[in-house]
Amino acid sequence: MASPFDGFEVEARLRPAAHGHAFDLERTLSAVVALETRVPEDAFTAATLGVDRIGNGALIGANGLVVTMGYLVMEAEDVALTLGDGERVAAHVLGSDPVTGFGLVQALQPLDVPPLPLGDSRSLRAGSPVIIAGGGGRNHAAAGQVLTRMRFAGYWEYLLEDAIITEPAHPHWSGAALIGAAGELVGVGSLSLQGQSANGVAKPLNMFVPIELLPPILDDLAQGRPAHAPRPWLGVIAQDMGPGVIVVALNPRGPAARAELKPGDVILAVAGVAVSDLAGFYTQLWAQGSAGAVIPLRLRREEDVFDVEVRSLDRAAMLKKPRFN
């Protein structure tokens, strides 16, 4: 069986030094594991996220509690963790949170590695040194730095107020651990983004979700409970259109598709409040109440401007629930 670490090695020149840290580097990196999941072919997210998913997770509890990104474990029926020494351990999904993006899994046997302490990323600024670690030890870790902090709006109806942007880009960023100066977990890898160097050349970057968002919801996720009240979901895939918000695609099972929104529609306002970017659109959308609320939209379609009401849904209600092994 091929190793989930194969092909994700970090260039040797980018790896952290084996010495010179205020913590035991090898011991700390041993808490980062590879994560593989299998999702049923009829799952709601199968078409967009695939049925076979691979990423990373970080052990945060001596009892085998592992934090990762929710899109890796959403609707997963089979979960396997691979430790740095190649040992594979079965796990099951506890839950995922669409607001923060975190996912939580439970190993079904002891992992025999020390968990990572949870830190706080709010002290990180541009230039702060960090280690970006995938499962597999130092060969899969990069000595990096924080490039910036920024508000991030994702096209899948997601908004993160204070995302951490890092460089260099990691080849296996999904669910990777962002490790601070004391060996603590300060973020979890979410996305690969495209930046631009000073001379205009495109360069890949990574976005991390700040770990301090996890403790307030940890107990709920660990118990399989929703960590937040369900937000209204429309099933709109949209992009900023400087200024404006344009519908690029629609989830065919989503409320917006049923209300006959179309790709190319421009969203001008929500409940009478003008919106000029994705962040503003989501802020007004979620301000209308919980899932199920009727969302008044003003749209422009070619030369026509018109109003439409869309009854929202709870996106989580569309998903297959975690199945305990």
We report the CATH number of the domain holding residue 296 as: 2.30.42.10
- In the listed set 228, 256, 274, which residue is the last one of a domain according to the structure? 228
Prediction pTM value = 0.94
What is the reported pLDDT for 102? Answer: 98
Give the residue-averaged pLDDT of 107-128. 96
Distances (CA, A) of 68 to 10, 105, 183, 310: 20, 8, 18, 33
Structure-token pair, residue 193: 């983004």
**Alpha-carbon span 40 to 46, nearest angstrom:** 7
- Residue 154: the pLDDT is 94
- Is 155 in the same domain as 192? yes
Q: Are residues 272 and 224 in the same domain?
A: no
pLDDT of 323 above 70: no
Cβ neighbours around 139 below 10 Å, total: 14
32-41, 101-110, 195-204, 265-274 — which is least confidently predicted?
A: 195-204
Whether residues 25 and 171 fall in one domain: yes
In sequence order, what are the residues at sequence separation of 6 or more whose Cβ sits closer than 8 angstroms to the Cβ of residue 121?
A: 164, 178, 180, 186, 187, 208, 210, 211, 212
Whether 76 and 224 share a structural domain: yes
Percent pLDDT > 90 in the chain is 90
Q: Are residues 288 and 187 in the same domain?
A: no
Q: Are residues 202 and 241 in the same domain?
A: no
Confidence of residue 164 (pLDDT cuts 50, 70, 90): very high
> Quick check: 259 pLDDT over 60?
yes
Per-residue pLDDT tens for 217-228? 999 999 989 999
- Work out the average pLDDT over 54-77: 97
Q: Residue 323 falls within a domain, yes or no?
A: no
Name the domain boundary from 228, 261, 291.
Answer: 228
The pLDDT, as a whole number, for residue 244 is 85
Q: Does the residue 262 lie in any domain?
A: yes
163 and 90 in one domain? yes
- Residue 67, in any domain of the structure: yes
Contact 9, 140 (CB under 8 A): yes
Where residue 39 sits, what CATH number does that domain have? 2.40.10.120
Residue 152's nearest CA partner among 100, 201, 202, 102 is: 100
- 151 near 279, Cβ under 8 Å? yes
Closest CA to 295 of 240, 243, 231, 241: 231
Amino acid at residue number 149: R
Last-in-domain residue among 194, 228, 262: 228
Same structural domain for residues 224 and 242?
no
Residue 198 has pLDDT above 80, yes or no: no
Residue 247 resides in a domain:
yes
Residue 254 belongs to domain spanning: 236-318
Q: Is residue 17 part of a domain?
A: yes
Predicted local distance difference test score (pLDDT) of residue 77:
94
The answer as to whether 105 is a domain residue is yes
Residue 254 is predicted with a pLDDT of: 96
Least confidently predicted of 65-79, 88-102, 184-198, 207-221: 184-198
Give me Rg for the CA atoms of the chain.
Answer: 20
**pLDDT for the residue numbered 287:** 98
Give which of 144, 185, 186, 182 is closest to 21, Cα–Cα: 182
Number of domains in the chain: 2
